[in-house]
């Protein structure tokens, strides 16, 4: 079913790529953070984005989340045309973005944050508790205000929001940052479980060894691409 | 849309309850403003045209609404500061919540906070300035309409400035001129509610009610674009 410039079909399996960028340009304050990026991500695929700081990895993830505008070139995510504002809004509801900022309210507890974001994302209540259990937040951290969490615990809470959402496309910006070894293993397990469930994953990481290990363990297709100067090199 | 509004308002009020910024900072600030206004005017000075009334009593409505407006600026700044940090605004965009619902929710939370502020400052004004209420219904309508105007226009302009680094100083510059007619109307309607005749106050109450509807409508229509641009 097509509505305007965006298919709203909820069918998970599709022959169309999940992400298809062709010469995508995105400007941040007039600067081309993405300068003609080409990328295709298939259903069930993990794509690792490598590259130096300021190369455009975060902007690429934000573009795919429907948050950064597409100024030139062509791009579709989950069959939604990124050049159309209404379509970009539809993309947002179907992706999960773990950015550098954790997007949590400092004054609320871990559970209050999760319940708010779950309700805002139209997630059913029963999905919250398993996500908290999975991320190790169900016991002593449940009633702790987010302002009292360590960086790693904040990361786990932010990840729990994404696990609740069960998005079709996971966009993870340095997901291992600030986490201890068990936390990193947990993130890897969640990513692999998402792939097994039919989702696609794009992640950026400076920890090449760990991220490469993740690609090797994936049951689906996987590859690493390098982002340099706002362009994607395979 | 209404469910989204209630969700946002409940979240903002929960944040407020836990952080206690309203009770610990905004309310004391409003009271200090009221007391400082009182210091500036001699309590024994009488109004020439109405010798049974002190000058302080006569200007009490204007001082009350000024104190409310200044306190509202703090509450508005706080309301959007919690969204501007830590990527919360982006996360809100990702939810697919109805922007009009987000606007109404933020405005509703501010509206309730302002009512609490006005209750306390109202009691403070009556005690400090010695005014008495003669037309409570007119006062109630004036308070509800003015509070809605301040909450709606304030939410709209605070959202406009929320993505900027200079938002703390920009919000008063944007909000105060827009709310000047509301301040004027609310002051004159409150004067009528205190000293009568009530007939003098109702047209002003009607005017600020019109402003309230206009600001609410403008916010609901434009908030999506504002959210997109911040």
Q: What is the pLDDT of residues A25-65, one digit of tens each?
A: 988 888 888 888 889 999 989 999 988 888 889 999 999 99
Of all residues in chain A, the percent with pLDDT exceeding 70 is 94
Look at residue A8 and tell me whether its pLDDT is greater than 80.
Answer: no
- The per-residue pLDDT for B113 is 95
Tokens representing A208 are 């090449």
A45 in helix, strand or coil?
A: coil
Shortest Cα distance, chain B CAs vs residue A216, angstroms: 30
* Residue range B62-75: mean pLDDT, rounded: 94
- The per-residue pLDDT for B53 is 78
What φ, ψ does residue A93 adopt, rounded to 5°? -75, -15
Q: Is A43 in contact with A198 (CB distance < 8 Å)?
A: yes
Shortest Cα distance, chain A CAs vs residue B80, angstroms: 12
- Other CB atoms within 10 Å distance of the CB of residue A212: 15
Q: How far apart are CA B93 and CA B106, in angstroms?
A: 15
Q: Measuring CA to CA, which residue among A152, A150, A157 is closest to residue A114? A: A157
| Strands ordered across the beta sheet of A72-77 | A2-3, A6-7, A80-81, A72-77, A19-28, A31-41
- The per-residue pLDDT for A95 is 94
Look at residue A5 and tell me whether its pLDDT is greater than 50.
Answer: no
Q: What is the pLDDT of residues B200-218, one digit of tens each?
A: 999 999 999 999 999 999 9
Phi-psi region at A82: left, alpha or beta (left = phi > 0; alpha = psi -120 to 50):
alpha
Q: Is A107 in contact with A147 (CB distance < 8 Å)?
A: yes
Name beta bridge partners: A40: A20
For residue B92, list chain A residues with Cβ-Cβ distance below 8 A. 120
For residue B225, list chain A residues with Cβ-Cβ distance below 8 A. none
- Other CB atoms within 10 Å distance of the CB of residue B62: 17
- For A105, the closest chain B residue by CA position comes to B82
For residue A89, list chain B residues with Cβ-Cβ distance below 8 A. 96
- For A117, the closest chain B residue by CA position comes to B95
- For B4, the closest chain A residue by CA position comes to A120
Read out DSSP for A97-146? EE-SS----TTSBHHHHHHHHHHHTT--GGGHHHHHHHTT-SSTTTTSBG
Name beta bridge partners: A7: A2
Give residue A14's pLDDT band: very low, low, confident or very high (50, 70, 90): low
Q: Is A158 in contact with A104 (CB distance < 8 Å)?
A: yes
For residue B82, list chain A residues with Cβ-Cβ distance below 8 A. 105-107
Look at residue A13 and tell me whether its pLDDT is greater than 80.
Answer: no
Q: How far apart are CA A221 and CA A45, in angstroms?
A: 5
B52 touches chain A (CB under 8 A): no
User: Mind listing the domains of chain A with CATH numbers?
Assistant: 1-6+15-94+167-234 (3.40.50.300), 103-166 (no CATH)
Q: What is the pLDDT of residues B86-144, one digit of tens each?
A: 888 889 999 988 899 999 999 999 999 999 999 999 999 888 888 888 899 999 999 99
Q: Please name the residues in contact with B9: beta carbons below 8 A apart, sequence gap of 6 or more.
A: B104, B105, B106, B108, B109, B112
For residue B87, list chain A residues with Cβ-Cβ distance below 8 A. 99-103
- The per-residue pLDDT for A41 is 92
Q: Measuring CA to CA, which residue among A153, A178, A165 is closest to residue A65? A: A165
B225 touches chain A (CB under 8 A): no
B87 touches chain A (CB under 8 A): yes
Look at residue A116 and tell me whether its pLDDT is greater than 50.
Answer: yes
Could you give the C-alpha distances from A101 to A119, A133, A215, B59, B121, in angstroms and in order? 20, 22, 25, 48, 38
Q: How far apart are CA B193 and CA A51, in angstroms?
A: 68
Q: Which of A88-92, A206-210, B48-52 has the lowest mean pLDDT?
A: B48-52
Phi-psi region at A4: left, alpha or beta (left = phi > 0; alpha = psi -120 to 50):
left
For residue A149, list chain B residues with Cβ-Cβ distance below 8 A. none
Nearest to B93 among A92, A102, A116 (CB): A92
Q: How far apart are CA B82 and CA A106, in angstroms?
A: 8
* Residue range A108-116: mean pLDDT, rounded: 95
Of all residues in chain B, the percent with pLDDT exceeding 70 is 100
Q: Measuring CA to CA, which residue among B194, B193, B103, B195 is closest to residue B151? A: B103
The mean predicted confidence, pLDDT, of chain B is: 89
Q: Is the peptide bond before A211 cis (omega within 30 degrees of 0)?
A: no
Across the interface, whether the CB atoms of A104 and B86 are under 8 A apart is answered yes
B165 touches chain A (CB under 8 A): no
Packing angle of the helix pair B55-84, B99-129 (nearest 10 deg): 150
Across the interface, whether the CB atoms of B86 and A117 are under 8 A apart is answered no
The 3-class secondary structure across B88-117, one letter per residue, is HHHHHHHHCCCHHHHHHHHHHHHHHHHHHH
Complex prediction ipTM? 0.84
For residue B90, list chain A residues with Cβ-Cβ distance below 8 A. 67, 97, 99, 101, 103
Across the interface, whether the CB atoms of A117 and B95 are under 8 A apart is answered yes
Read out DSSP for chain B? -HHHHHHHHHHHHHHHHHH-HIIIIIHHHHHHHHHHHHHTS-TT-B-SS-TTSBHHHHHHHHHHHHHHHHHHHHHHHHHHHHHHGGGHHHHHHHHT--HHHHHHHHHHHHHHHHHHHHHHHHHHHHHHH----S-HHHHHHHHHHHHHHHHHHHHHHHHHHTTSTTHHHHHHHHHHHHHHHHHHHHHHHHHHHHHS-HHHHHHHHHHHHHHHHHHHHHHHHHHHHHHHH-
Of all residues in chain A, the percent with pLDDT exceeding 90 is 44
Nearest to B15 among A93, A95, A108 (CB): A108
* Cβ pairs A/B, distance under 8 A: 66
Across the interface, whether the CB atoms of A103 and B86 are under 8 A apart is answered yes
Q: Is B200 in contact with B178 (CB distance < 8 Å)?
A: no
Q: What is the pLDDT of residues A165-196, one digit of tens each?
A: 889 999 999 988 888 888 889 999 999 999 98
């Amino acid at each position: 079913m097509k509505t305007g410039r965006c298919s709203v079909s909820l069918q998970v399996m599709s022959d169309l790529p999940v992400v298809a960028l062709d010469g995508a340009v995105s400007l941040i304050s007039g600067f081309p953070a993405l300068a003609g990026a080409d990328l295709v991500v298939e259903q069930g695929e993990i794509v690792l984005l490598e590259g130096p700081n300021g190369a455009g990895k975060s902007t690429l993830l934000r573009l795919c989340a429907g948050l950064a505008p597409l100024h030139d070139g062509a791009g579709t995510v989950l069959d939604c045309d990124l050049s159309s504002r209404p379509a970009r809004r539809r993309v947002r509801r179907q992706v999960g973005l773990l950015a550098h900022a954790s997007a949590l309210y400092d004054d609320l507890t871990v559970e209050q944050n999760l319940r708010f974001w779950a309700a805002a994302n139209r997630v059913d209540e029963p999905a919250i508790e398993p996500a908290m259990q999975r991320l190790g937040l169900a016991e002593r951290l449940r009633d702790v205000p987010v302002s009292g969490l360590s960086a790693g615990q904040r990361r786990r809470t932010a990840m729990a929001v994404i696990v609740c959402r069960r998005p079709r496309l996971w966009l993870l910006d340095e997901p291992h940052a600030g986490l201890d070894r068990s936390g990193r293993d947990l993130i890897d397990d969640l990513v692999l479980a998402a792939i097994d469930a039919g989702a696609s994953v794009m992640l950026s990481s400076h920890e090449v060894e760990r991220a490469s290990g993740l690609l090797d363990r994936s049951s689906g297709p996987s590859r690493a691409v390098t982002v340099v100067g706002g362009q994607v090199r395979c | 849309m209404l469910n989204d509004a209630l969700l946002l308002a409940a979240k903002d009020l929960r944040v407020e309850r836990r952080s206690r910024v309203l009770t610990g900072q905004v309310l004391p600030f409003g009271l200090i403003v009221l007391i400082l206004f009182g210091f500036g005017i001699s309590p024994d000075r009488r109004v020439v045209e109405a010798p049974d009334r002190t000058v302080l009593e006569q200007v009490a409505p204007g001082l009350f609404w000024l104190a409310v407006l200044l306190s509202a600026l703090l509450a508005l700044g706080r309301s959007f500061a919690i969204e501007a940090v830590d990527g919360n605004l982006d996360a809100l965009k990702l939810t697919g919540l109805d922007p009009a619902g987000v606007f109404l929710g933020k405005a509703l939370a501010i509206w309730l906070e302002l009512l609490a502020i006005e209750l306390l400052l109202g009691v403070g004004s009556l005690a400090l300035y010695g005014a008495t209420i003669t037309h409570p219904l007119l006062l109630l309508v004036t308070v509800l309409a003015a509070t809605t105007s301040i909450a709606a226009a304030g939410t709209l302009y605070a959202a406009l400035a929320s993505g900027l680094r200079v938002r703390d100083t920009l919000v008063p510059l944007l909000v105060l001129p827009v709310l000047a007619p509301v301040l004027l109307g609310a002051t004159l309607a409150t004067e009528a509610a205190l000293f009568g005749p009530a007939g003098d106050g109702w047209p002003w109450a009607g005017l600020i009610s019109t402003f309230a509807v206009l600001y609410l409508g403008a916010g609901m229509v434009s908030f999506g674009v504002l959210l997109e641009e911040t």
